[in-house]
Structures are given as structure tokens and as C-alpha cells.
Structure 1
Amino acid sequence: MANFIYTSKNKRGETQIGHLESKDKHELASILRNQGLVLVSAEIAGVEKSASYFNIKKIVQKLGHISLVEKMMFSRHLSVMIKAGLS
């Protein structure tokens, strides 16, 4: 059994944060559903994220502004690759 810190929403859309003990996230979601809540996110308490954890916000901040021309070229190249069947 692990202790989870979770974020959930009730039927009125209000966010609630709490902690519960369960064997996995699926059981946690089931417990919260029985209480009339919907699980939004859950993490095991006391476990820190590793430094290599993928975080899109940090990547976007480091890249800075991407010009319109670069976005257009990327979109065009992506379109060609998809039409060619690249997956």
C-alpha cells in the first residue's frame, strides 16, 4: 500500500487536494469515485521527481520565442512527412 497525494474535483467543479492510502492509482480513483469525486492527478507521497523528468513548460521557456516563419516551415515539413506515411 502506498500513500498518495491527490487532486480531485467534486460535482460542482471545485478542486480538492488530499491524501489517501491505496495499492495503486486505479484503486485510489475508485475510492474517490465512491465519495463523489473525480481523480485529476495523483502522486506517491514523499517521492521527488527526477531531474530528467520531461517538463514541456521548462523546454518552452528555454527555447524562447519561435518565429512565425519557423512555425510555418515546421508545419509544412510535418505535413509532408505525414502525407508520406511517416509515423
Structure 2
Amino acid sequence: MDVSHEINLLVEEIQRLGSKNASGQTSVKFGVLFNDDRCANIFEALVGTLKAAKKRKVIAFQSELLLQGVHDDVDIVLLQE
């Protein structure tokens, strides 16, 4: 699996589903991303892709680990457009 390719797909999906926040950055709620049918078809391990993207400083979110249901309202912010 090509992690860079997965992260690029993630960026595209965040841009598709997200909106600009007060800082002008694109952000999306984890629940919106997780429950989207297209994302479910693209990503086998969405949480793993999110962690890899966060490690590479492509995105930012407040929690160490994102769990469906518990963290649905956590904002995922795109740091690199």
C-alpha cells in the first residue's frame, strides 16, 4: 500500500466534504468523513490513514486516536491544501 497515495486521496476527500473554518483552513468532522460512502469504499483503514497524515503534518486533530461515535465531532483540519 502506498501511504503517500492514500494521504493524497484523503486530502481530496477532506476538500470535497469539508468547509473553510475561521482561519481559512479546510476542516471536516471525523463523523462526516467516517460515515461517507465514498470514503468507506476508498479507505480500508481510514483511522490508519488519518494517523499517517497527522504524523506527516498534512492534517491536525485534537485526539490521539479517533473512534467512530465517540469522536464524531472532532475537527480534522487540513494543514496543506
Structure-2-length-normalised TM-score: 0.25
Structure-1-length-normalised TM-score: 0.23
Higher relative contact order (CA 8 A, sep 6+): 2
- Which one has the bigger helix percentage? 2
Work out which of the two has the higher radius of gyration on C-alpha atoms and give 1 or 2.
Answer: 1
